[in-house]
A and B are shown apart, each in its own frame.
Chain A
Amino acid sequence: MAVVSNGTTIIDAGALGSGVPTGKMILIKTLTASGSGTLDFINGADSVVFDGTYKEYVFKFINIHPATDSADLTFQVDTGTNTNYNQTIMSTVFRAEIREDGADSKLIYDTNLDQEEGTAFQQIQHDIGNDADQSAAGTLTLFNPASATFVKHFMARSQIYYAGDYALDFLVAGYFNTTTALTRVQFKMSTGNIDSGVIKLYGIGG
């Protein structure tokens, strides 16, 4: 039975009516770190969707806190059922930063943090402090990971309470130089565990 209000079909046949505007940023999965070595989002596992369902996937990082001071949050991807997490990356990295005493403010390109056809995990949050009140937050966007035609571009921007007591605006972008569909994403610290923090995966629909 349809539910009709003021002439508008609200619900019918187990679904919202086509005229009902709904949000298009769809929460897929939330993972919460607690002394975690890695956090993995794998298509088809544990309710995770990471395929051609969406053309754009967005990860949100909330209060990422490392177990080890000055650790970096990094990520890599893989294809099919592979778990090597070593896809080829071309990336750029730049940052704006200022120390709390105002003594050191600058905007720089980081040639030692970008990758040139490298297969290492890519830093997306640099030198996070692990004082009790220090953490990092940010967003990572991945475009059309299921494409079998194009390389897979990504963009990340994070705000970090840097170990040296800086505010650090850290911007990373690039592409995985493969035309094979990506099926999984792994996050881990450059050293030590992810002490705490939340990573949320959304699909952008419509």
Chain B
Amino acid sequence: MAIISNAVTIADAGAFSVSLGSMVHIKTLTASNDSTLAFIHGTDDVVLDDTYPIYILKIINLFSHTDDRAVLLNFTIDGTNFNVTKTTTFFRARHNESGSHAQLDYRGRADLEQSASGQEFVEGFDGEADANVNSTIFLYDPSSTTFVKHFTMETQGTGNGGTDAQTSTNAFVSGYCNTTSAVTGLRIEGQSTTISGTFKLYGIKDS
């Protein structure tokens, strides 16, 4: 039975006919001193297939429990092995509290050339108690069996741990998973560290 108001069909056949917005929340996961955190299609209500042409992962207050460690992003095509070959670019603006760095540079040590390794968000997470990293990741058409899978990351956080002063780091990564197999999951992993933070996966409807 359709729901019609003032000659406008509001809902029919179990779905709304009117627009309800196009950015759909799929799943929120929270890491609490964990080594890894993964979104895998079909696991724990996660959708990461051809339901949406674009997926967005929002990361809020990502924290490394060990100072000066990398936190990495990787992808899977089988739901188990997170080792998809990637080629990426990495550039950043950074400025530290002591004023010894204020610059824009391309970071050859943080990009990937046909590598199955994880992609860094910022170099060397700062481990101070108030330090954290936030990022928005776009993943395009992960279910394609024709094309490589492009993704972009914009990250703002406190990088350059260790002996360096706390550093505001705005990092930009873009690249592709060099596979024509469907990407079915992604994982955030601490490199010799554990992580905490909030991770929200959204899908963008195409109609």
Q: Which A residues fall within an 8 A CB radius of B?
A: 3, 5-8, 10, 20-25, 55-56, 90-94, 107-109, 111, 114, 116-117, 141, 143-144, 147, 149-151, 153-155, 171, 173-175, 177, 179, 204-206
Contacts and interface: CB of A to CB of B under 8 A. Distances in A.
Given A22-B21, A56-B58, A143 B14 contact: no
B23 A23 contact: yes
A56 to B, nearest CB: 6
Contact of A173 (B13, B24, B63, B156): B156
Contacts of A23: 20-24
Contact of B21 (A25, A56, A117): A25
Given A5-B11, A116-B99, A174 B168 contact: yes
Interface of B: 1-3, 11-16, 20-25, 28, 58, 60-61, 63, 93-97, 99, 102-104, 129-134, 136, 154, 156-158, 166, 168-170, 198, 200, 202
Which applies to chain A's interface (DSSP): helix, strand, loop or mixed? Answer: strand
Contact of A116 (B16, B25, B58, B97): B97
Contact of A109 (B20, B24, B61, B104): B104
Contact of B157 (A5, A7, A21, A153): A153
B14 A7 contact: yes
Contacts of B202: 24, 206
A47 to B, nearest CB: 19
Given A92-B94, A150-B131, A20 B20 contact: yes
B93 A179 contact: no
Contacts of A21: 20, 24
A20 B12 CA distance: 13
A136 to B, nearest CB: 19
Nearest to B28: A206
B168 A10 contact: no
B99 A109 contact: no
24 contacts: A3-B3, A5-B13, A5-B15, A8-B15, A10-B16, A21-B20, A23-B20, A55-B58, A55-B198, A55-B200, A90-B95, A91-B168, A92-B169, A109-B102, A116-B99, A149-B61, A150-B63, A153-B132, A153-B156, A153-B157, A155-B170, A173-B93, A204-B200, A206-B202
